[in-house]
Amino acid sequence: MDKAAEAGRKGQDVRSDCWIKITPKNTGGIQLNSNSKVGALFGKSIEKLVRDGLDFFGIINASVEFEDRGALPFVIMARLECAVRRLNLDNGKEWLPEIRECCSYETTRERFRRSRLYLPGNEAKFMLNAGLHKPDGLILDLEDSVAPSEKDAAQLMVRNALRQVDFYGAERMVRINQISQGLDDLKYIAPHNVHVILIPKCESGDQVRQVDAEIESLLKQKNLNHKILYMPIVESALGAIKAYEIASASPNVVALTIGLEDYTADIGTQRTLEGKESFWARSQVVNAARAAGVQPIDTVFSDVTDMDGLRESVYEAKSLGFDGKGCIHPRQIQVINESFAPQEIEIDKAKKIVLAFEKAESKGLGVVSLGSKMIDPPVVKRALQTIKLALDTGKLEPNWREGGEHHG
Amino acid sequence: MDSKLVKNAIGRIVPTEVNGKQAVPFQGVGKYKPTGKKTAPPVATCADYPADGNKIVADIKTALIKAGIKDGMTISTHHHFRNGDLVANQIFDAAAEIGVKDLMWFPSASFPCQAPIIEHQKNGVIHHIEGSMNGPLGDYCSQGKMRGLGVLRSHGGRYQAVQDGEVHIDIAVIAAPTADPFGNANGLTGPSACGLLGFALADSQYADKVIIVTDNQVPFPCVPWQIQGNYVDFVVVMDKIGEPEKIISGTTQITKSPDRLLIAEMTAQFVKDAGIMKDGFSFQAGAGGTSLAFAIYLKEMMKDAGIKARFVRGGSNQYLVQMLEEGLTDYILDGQTFDLDGVRSMRENPGHVNTSPFTSYNYHGKGNFASMVDAVVLGATEVDINFNANVVTHSDGKLLHGIGGWQNCLFSKCTILPIPSFRDRIPVIVDEVTTVCGPGELIDVVVTERGIAINPKRTDLIDATKNSSLPIRSIKEIKAEIDEIIGSKPEKPKLGDKIIAVVKWVDGTILDSIYQVQD
């Protein structure tokens, strides 16, 4: 029997994906049998892409079955490459879609990380429009949302998505697998303009440094030297104990977050709505993060239908000291962003600082002062962000300098 | 049939003859004004009808025979039962038993439950269908298998065609949830209650013979008489005329798609930011999931701003009923009822008003409601960069939907199409629509998840929203973004030269042709 490999998914319910089965032969050229839901409009270009891919990997004799359910070219490319890899015929080659211009912006350490939306890394259909919902960050997940047998497929899908999918200004994040399995994910991610890597089930500073070392070597190989930031996730008793060690393990750590499903299981209990069981760990994460100068970010709120509960939970997180929260549904984003919006008292303070800063700038002064107090540059930066956030969320009118009032 | 093809005023190639009758090519919006007298049904004499008012006959077959069914006649039905209709198939089964051929079926719309009609097309009982074809019937027509040309009309256009004599109904069969032996009927009560029977109004007034079919006979008088017994020839009573759970259809589920919710929210925000949402305003939203979500978002915005509408046009459903009951609108002017709350409200609330294509949409009326509505929210399968829109075919050329009231609603003061910019890989915003159903000059705003495009003709709307935080962009810019995502230019679908159906404009002229799909 011929050795065959398949990749992707097929069936009536599948959307924006495709399925391919390659059976290499000794002779006979490429026997391509393809059909597509969008064949009337894209049949020829799809067939050409599949043939180009086989050609790229030097496969000249094979029978190929291909079923398309409206997959975009980068998805077709990832599925084809996955099947080729499963046949061990890739010879270490990567079939990369071009990097679209919209994928090449940068991030900053200081940016807001109020909302971050998790997207299953092996599902293209959720990725295409996710950025339109304006999360601060979008996470392509290689860990829990991907079945163990599809980890290789997801690596290619995420890699191609990083090169092709417009995140519409959201921070570009990937959650890798737990260390050390997760180290293998990095080569599909690090060279493709990822901004933040989430390190799950992190239990030591050493794990963070392993990521650091691996990334450094990967970027060096490709002659790249951009900064990649980390957001380790505390998900165990040990992780919680070592929170500060983790948060301060590398200058690239930008935020520390917590995953409560795994954490509560690890301490031998269950997650409750009230959350008494995780109060200590959450507070520990806030304190460790603040002590290390990184952002403390809360866990996800998993009831996607309960918007009032979500709002309450954001208020509570904010009161504990968190700067952000995770989400698993796009409709949660707006609620989270709004609920993290600055309060009146914060806005008032920020306005004074920004006005003083602008005044000092216009006079060419290097030092900003408010009354008799000197203001440090990071405080100014923070105040500018507060104003931006207030403007973003409609808490402040664009003409606030002219005495425009902000809304409660 | 030797029909010429000509280019009409919107640049589409259309036949000059349809099913053996002369056809007028589209001349422009509001340009075609036929003269003469409206059509009229034959003179009847009450002496010919039972003095005791009992017009009940044994069954549909008997009624059809008594109505004088003959080869080549036109038989009409309404679609208030949507996909739960049990009557249409029985009419043509009876016609087959009688042995007549070459009938024209003139439904106000057809649904997948009427797929057995395909058999009656094959066996010659039905020659062709003139009416919206959804699902399998549209597919059959698309493949070029129907004998005559399909004629797609709007709800208003159907009234126009009946009233100006373009279509002569020989026998109207009106399924009625409640009726008395005299033929007075309504849709308010009974196991198949559907709210109202407005789509059958023209049929009752203009057909040569009118048959009422009911499964809920009540003693005279059946009030209110949405259909008046004075127009009715025969009444048939049977066990079951519809499947209630399918009459109250699934099209009234709010979308769960986050992208569509975003589009719905942006649409409501647009209506607010453009200043349309003000005290005493009016709007209409269709039955699709996005339109429903729009109504819900708008309702919240109205509540927050303390604003009340004068009237809302239905397709009514529980959400519009809530608005009426919460005092957020004075009236629902209802053309069809989509759920049980709508039926109940119409039965109980004097502010929930029964309307018909005559009051709302008719080209030959002395005005109609459609142009008085401040904003209407409609769907589309495609929109092009000139804002022309398609609702009947898909980009692969297949005929899959009817026009419904869509064309008529375009006359609203602000027509908004909330649509995804692409579906799977198929672009919804295109260079040129596959089929023109609505001329771009009547389409004001296209709302996609990637931005809102305002028709450049509507400088007033552009001005009104220039300080809005909404992502307002040109339609070409949105299209360019989608083209980049899709990755390669769509091929032209393979279509045959054979025209299989035509799209009529609201005035009865031919707006566009639909071609056979090649396999």
Tens digits of residue pLDDT in A181-212: 999 999 999 999 999 999 999 999 999 999 99
CB contact under 8 A, B424 and A42: no
The neighbour count for residue A166, using CB atoms within 10 Å, is: 20
Instruction: Give the distance, in angstroms, between the CA of residue B50 and the centroid of all CA atoms in the same chain.
Output: 36
Confidence of residue A301 (pLDDT cuts 50, 70, 90): very high
A407 in a structural domain: no
- Verify that A20 and A148 share a domain, yes or no: no
What's the token pair of residue A250? 């590398």
Does the CB of B466 have a partner CB in chain A at under 8 Å?
A: no
The neighbour count for residue A93, using CB atoms within 10 Å, is: 13
- Verify that A222 and A326 share a domain, yes or no: yes
- Verify that A248 and A109 share a domain, yes or no: yes
Tell me the C-alpha distance between B377 and B296, whole Å. 13
Does the CB of A43 have a partner CB in chain B at under 8 Å?
A: yes
Place of tokens 């829990």: A144
In B74-200, which residue ranges form alpha helices assigned H by DSSP? 88-98, 117-122, 136-142, 155-163
Tell me the C-alpha distance between A37 and B109, whole Å. 27
Question: Mean pLDDT score of chain A, rounded to an integer?
Answer: 93
What does the pLDDT read at residue A2? 65
- Verify that A223 and A244 share a domain, yes or no: yes
Q: Find out if CATH 3.40.1080.10 is the number for domain B250-497.
A: yes
Confidence of residue A102 (pLDDT cuts 50, 70, 90): very high
Of B395, B424, B468, which to mutate for an interface test with A (greatest number of A Cβ within 10 Å)? B424
Does the CB of B249 have a partner CB in chain A at under 8 Å?
A: no
Tell me the C-alpha distance between A54 and A138, whole Å. 32
Tell me the C-alpha distance between B283 and B376, whole Å. 6
Tell me the C-alpha distance between B292 and B414, whole Å. 18
Does the CB of B261 have a partner CB in chain A at under 8 Å?
A: yes
Chain B residues whose beta carbon lies within 8 Å of the beta carbon of residue A133: 258, 262
pLDDT tens-digit map of A339-368: 998 888 889 999 999 998 888 888 887 778
**Minimum CA–CA partner of A161 in chain B:** B485
Segments making up each domain of chain B, as ranges? 52-126+167-247, 250-497
Confidence of residue A399 (pLDDT cuts 50, 70, 90): confident
Tell me the C-alpha distance between B432 and A117, whole Å. 36
Does the CB of A382 have a partner CB in chain B at under 8 Å?
A: no
CB contact under 8 A, A42 and B396: no
Of A9, A38, A392, which to mutate for an interface test with B (greatest number of B Cβ within 10 Å)? A38
- Helix A307-320 / helix A276-292 crossing angle, nearest 10 deg: 50
Does the CB of B484 have a partner CB in chain A at under 8 Å?
A: yes
What's the token pair of residue B273? 């930011």
CB contact under 8 A, B395 and A331: no
Does the CB of B449 have a partner CB in chain A at under 8 Å?
A: yes
Chain A residues whose beta carbon lies within 8 Å of the beta carbon of residue B261: 331
In A3-94, which residue ranges form alpha helices assigned H by DSSP? 39-56, 73-86
Nearest to B485 by CA among A167, A159, A107: A167
CB contact under 8 A, B490 and A72: no
What's the token pair of residue A353? 């600082």
The torsion region of residue B451 among left (phi > 0), alpha (psi -120 to 50) and beta comes to left
Nearest to B66 by CA among B284, B248, B230, B235: B235
Q: Find out if CATH 3.10.20.30 is the number for domain B52-126+167-247.
A: no
Place of tokens 């971050």: A116
Radius of gyration of chain A (CA): 24
The neighbour count for residue A302, using CB atoms within 10 Å, is: 15
CA of B329 to nearest chain A CA: how many angstroms apart? 27
Q: Tell me the sheet residues that pair with A375.
A: A368
What's the token pair of residue A181? 């399995």
Q: Which residues contact B357 (CB under 8 A, 6 or more apart)?
A: B155, B156, B158, B159, B198, B199, B201, B202, B335, B405, B408
Given a cut of 80, is residue A329 above it in pLDDT?
yes
CB contact under 8 A, B484 and A71: no
| Pair B167, B416: CB distance under 8 Å | no
Tell me the C-alpha distance between B470 and B274, whole Å. 11
Tell me the C-alpha distance between A173 and B372, whole Å. 50
Q: Are strands B510-517 and B495-504 parallel, antiparallel or unpaired?
A: antiparallel
Among A106-110, A272-276, A403-407, B433-437, which range has the highest average pLDDT? Answer: B433-437
| Pair A246, A288: CB distance under 8 Å | yes
- Verify that A335 and A351 share a domain, yes or no: no
- Verify that A49 and A194 share a domain, yes or no: no
Does the CB of B59 have a partner CB in chain A at under 8 Å?
A: no
Total of domains in chain A: 3
In A254-343, which residue ranges form alpha helices assigned H by DSSP? 260-266, 276-292, 307-320, 331-339
What does the pLDDT read at residue B339? 87
CA of A70 to nearest chain B CA: how many angstroms apart? 5
Does the CB of A38 have a partner CB in chain B at under 8 Å?
A: yes
Chain B residues whose beta carbon lies within 8 Å of the beta carbon of residue A394: 469
Of A129, A163, A327, which to mutate for an interface test with B (greatest number of B Cβ within 10 Å)? A129
Nearest to B191 by CA among B239, B226, B223: B239
Radius of gyration of chain B (CA): 23
**Minimum CA–CA partner of A49 in chain B:** B488
Backbone angles phi and psi of A403, in degrees to 5: 90, 10
- Verify that A35 and A112 share a domain, yes or no: no
What does the pLDDT read at residue B252? 61
Does the CB of A69 have a partner CB in chain B at under 8 Å?
A: yes
Q: What is the 3-state secondary structure (H, E, C) of A183-251?
A: HHHHHHCHHHCCCEEEECCCCCHHHHHHHHHHHHHHHHHCCCCCCCEEEEEECCHHHHHCHHHHHCCCC
What does the pLDDT read at residue B249? 64
Q: Letter for the amino acid at B254?
A: I
Given a cut of 90, is residue A336 above it in pLDDT?
yes
Tell me the C-alpha distance between A51 and A49, whole Å. 5
- Verify that A119 and A210 share a domain, yes or no: yes
3-state SS class at A338: helix
Residues 226-255 of A with CB under 8 A from B: none
Given a cut of 70, is residue A405 above it in pLDDT?
no
Of B269, B300, B425, B450, which to mutate for an interface test with A (greatest number of A Cβ within 10 Å)? B425
Looking up residue A289, the CATH number of its domain turns out to be 3.20.20.60
Q: Which residues contact A238 (CB under 8 A, 6 or more apart)?
A: A203, A204
Q: From A47, A62, A86, give the residue that closes a domain.
A: A86
What's the token pair of residue B36? 């003469």
Domain that holds residue A350: 344-402
> Angle CA(A161)–CA(A299)–CA(A255) in degrees, nearest 5?
70
The neighbour count for residue A272, using CB atoms within 10 Å, is: 10
Does the CB of B424 have a partner CB in chain A at under 8 Å?
A: yes
Does the CB of A169 have a partner CB in chain B at under 8 Å?
A: no
Q: Which candidate from B259, B395, B484 shows the least CB-CB separation from A41?
A: B395
> For B11, how many CA atoms within 13 A lie in the half-sphere containing its CB?
7
Q: What value does the mean pLDDT take over residues A1-21?
A: 92
Of all helices (H) and strands (E), which one includes residue B474?
A: none
CA of A73 to nearest chain B CA: how many angstroms apart? 7
Q: Please, what's the b/e burial string for A246-266 (b: 16 or more CB within 10 A of its CB; e: otherwise)? A: bbbbbebbbbbbbbbebbbeb
- Verify that A311 and A378 share a domain, yes or no: no
Q: Which candidate from B486, B487, B491 shows the least CB-CB separation from A44?
A: B491
What are the Cα distances from residue B191, in Å, to B76, B215, B518? 23, 8, 43
A92 in a structural domain: no
Does the CB of A329 have a partner CB in chain B at under 8 Å?
A: yes
Tell me the C-alpha distance between B246 and B242, whole Å. 8
- Verify that A351 and A318 share a domain, yes or no: no
Place of tokens 């196991």: B191
Does the CB of B471 have a partner CB in chain A at under 8 Å?
A: no
| Pair A336, A313: CB distance under 8 Å | no
3-state SS class at B519: coil
**Minimum CA–CA partner of B425 in chain A:** A70
| Pair A124, A71: CB distance under 8 Å | yes
| Pair B145, B123: CB distance under 8 Å | no
- Verify that A266 and A153 share a domain, yes or no: yes
| Pair A288, A256: CB distance under 8 Å | yes
Tell me the C-alpha distance between B44 and B99, whole Å. 28
Does the CB of A72 have a partner CB in chain B at under 8 Å?
A: yes
A93 in a structural domain: no
CA of A241 to nearest chain B CA: how many angstroms apart? 38
Domain B52-126+167-247 and domain B250-497, same fold? Reply is yes
Chain A residues whose beta carbon lies within 8 Å of the beta carbon of residue B491: 40-45
Q: Letter for the amino acid at B167?
A: V
What does the pLDDT read at residue B148? 93
- Verify that A272 and A366 share a domain, yes or no: no
Q: Tell me the sheet residues that pair with A296.
A: A256
Q: Letter for the amino acid at B394?
A: H
Q: What is the mean pLDDT of each run of 10 residues along chain B (519 residues)?
A: 84 96 96 94 96 97 98 97 95 98 97 95 96 89 92 97 96 98 97 94 97 98 97 98 79 80 97 98 88 94 97 91 97 91 94 94 93 96 97 91 94 97 94 97 98 98 95 97 93 88 97 90
pLDDT tens-digit map of A277-293: 999 999 999 999 999 99
